[in-house]
Amino acid sequence: MTTHWLPALVAIPIAGGVLVPTMSRRWAPAWGFGVLIATLGVALFLTGLLREDTVSYAVGGWPPPYGIELRFDVLSTFAVPIALVAALAVPFATHSNEPVTTPEGVAVILVGTGGMMGFVVAADFFTLFVFLEVLSISAYGMVAMSEERGAGLAAFRYLLMGTVASIVILLSVGLLYTLTGSLNMADVGQRLPDGGLPLHLAIGGLAAGFLLKAAVFPLHVWLPDAHATAPSAVSAILSGLIVKMGIIGLLRTPGLEHLHELLIWVGAASLLAGALFALVQDDLKRMLAYSTVSNIGLVVLGLAVDRTGATVHILNHAIIKASLFLAAGAFIHRAGSRRIEGTGRSMPLTTSAFAVGGIAAIGIPPTGGFTGKWMIVLGALEAGRWGFAVMILLGAVILALCYARFVVVVAFRPSPADREGTSEAPLVMLVPIFVLAALSVGVGIIGGPFAAFVGK
């Protein structure tokens, strides 16, 4: 099946983003929100088509494997959370003091969204690389939007690590091309040689590059600074969406079964290390950033034992982590600084949404975080690796401590004496937080059918 709505999914946000800098400051956020909602509509329409068949589009009319192919398959359904989170981040940011909703800021968010859309629908490796760079460069720019001292340095370190990853990925794509004479993913998969050093270099290089982009321990060092210094609306995009692109890249890597043993150990290390680092953080956004490292570890482990479970979990975690970062942003906005003790007392709605997000991030049923985690635990047990199943549960216990601690800090500690009485977050902040928190529970309630749809 083919439809012109598939290239439109990529073209709408990028074209919309390029136009924003010509607009006035007043209209930029509204335009950005409108463009992203339109993109969300296209993504939902394409996901609906997926119930019958995958959608394929030959760019310029050149048929694959010779031309550039775009393909909307189960992994591409990630387009829906991408459009949703980006769309909700824009109105959220209009109320904060950070310069996110200036025309330039909105342009970066829109182009980054377009890059992510291109990344999830790319069906050949070079297109994948190009869109990876579009979304990565936007991500570096998003971190640099923060006016906090040191944000430029955090963005530069992110750029350095991200570009090393991109170079390794490009080298591996070149190796795959010399090995198979093709760039189309399906075609490369068929022509892949059985073994040999060049093949292992190519697959290993792709995996290393994508693991670095996904911030797996010990390649995570750039993430806490970048995610914690960025404006909160941007942290939601970075932590919810952009690190997941590394996982989608891994899921697209051919011959990944050669690396399952490595992935399961790296994933377990990241799962536990991320949770332990999260436990010792005093800053809420840093804790959330390390919790992302832990969840990415879970997903990488899951890639080796249950791919469907891993896919389900990245879809759910995108929504959950975005809701948590937005709630953290609301606390910080009302507190006026990073010292958020006691802000929750006067913000019961935000606090309850944060608690719901925390429960979902730990993976307690019936939330969305449970479905994928449960599938991965079952997959580990089925593969006879019960030690890893225990590690996943242990990681969840540590994360539960982290979230419980911050709920206590926010809701029960007295606020510092020098702060005036705070009030509930404004509606433009509350509505995005509640939409995401409701979804992170709702997707869990329909967890069975949802997993069946993803597994198809």
Interacting residues toward other proteins by CB under 8 A: 126, 130, 133, 137, 140-141, 144, 149-150, 152-153, 155-156, 159-160, 163-164, 166-167, 170-171, 173-174, 177-178, 183
Place of tokens 């949770």: 275
Q: What is the DSSP letter of 240?
A: I
CA-wise closest residue to 252 among 68, 375, 162, 120: 120
Q: How far apart are CA 64 and CA 93, in angstroms?
A: 41
Measured from the CB of residue 178, what is the shortest distance to other proteins in angstroms? Answer: 4
> Please, are residues 319 and 359 in contact by the beta-carbon 8 Å criterion?
no
Angle ∠(39,429,135) on CA atoms, nearest 5: 40
Sequence-distant (6+) residues with CB within 8 A of 210 are 165, 169, 246, 247, 249, 250, 253
Closer by beta carbon to other proteins, 26 or else 149: 149
CA-wise closest residue to 289 among 325, 318, 263: 325
Closer by beta carbon to other proteins, 133 or else 424: 133
Q: How far apart are CA 85 and CA 201, in angstroms?
A: 36
150 phi, psi to nearest 5 deg: 95, -5
Q: How far apart are CA 86 and CA 233, in angstroms?
A: 9
Measured from the CB of residue 172, what is the shortest distance to other proteins in angstroms? Answer: 10
Closer by beta carbon to other proteins, 43 or else 135: 135
Closer by beta carbon to other proteins, 175 or else 271: 175
Measured from the CB of residue 377, what is the shortest distance to other proteins in angstroms? Answer: 37
Q: How far apart are CA 162 and CA 157, in angstroms?
A: 8
> Please, are residues 371 and 446 in contact by the beta-carbon 8 Å criterion?
no
Measured from the CB of residue 280, what is the shortest distance to other proteins in angstroms? Answer: 19
Measured from the CB of residue 260, what is the shortest distance to other proteins in angstroms? Answer: 27
Measured from the CB of residue 21, what is the shortest distance to other proteins in angstroms? Answer: 16
Sequence-distant (6+) residues with CB within 8 A of 325 are 232, 235, 236, 239, 240, 285, 288
- The span from the first CA to the last CA of the chain, in angstroms, equals 17
Angle ∠(333,443,228) on CA atoms, nearest 5: 30
Measured from the CB of residue 149, what is the shortest distance to other proteins in angstroms? Answer: 6
Handedness of CA 308, 162, 433, 229 (dihedral sign): positive
Closer by beta carbon to other proteins, 170 or else 237: 170
Measured from the CB of residue 134, what is the shortest distance to other proteins in angstroms? Answer: 9
Closer by beta carbon to other proteins, 80 or else 161: 161
Measured from the CB of residue 282, what is the shortest distance to other proteins in angstroms? Answer: 17
- Residues paired with residue 55 on neighbouring β-strands, in sequence order: 72
Measured from the CB of residue 274, what is the shortest distance to other proteins in angstroms? Answer: 23
Closer by beta carbon to other proteins, 157 or else 345: 157
Closer by beta carbon to other proteins, 165 or else 236: 165
Closer by beta carbon to other proteins, 166 or else 239: 166
CA-wise closest residue to 114 among 25, 36, 197: 36
Closer by beta carbon to other proteins, 150 or else 336: 150
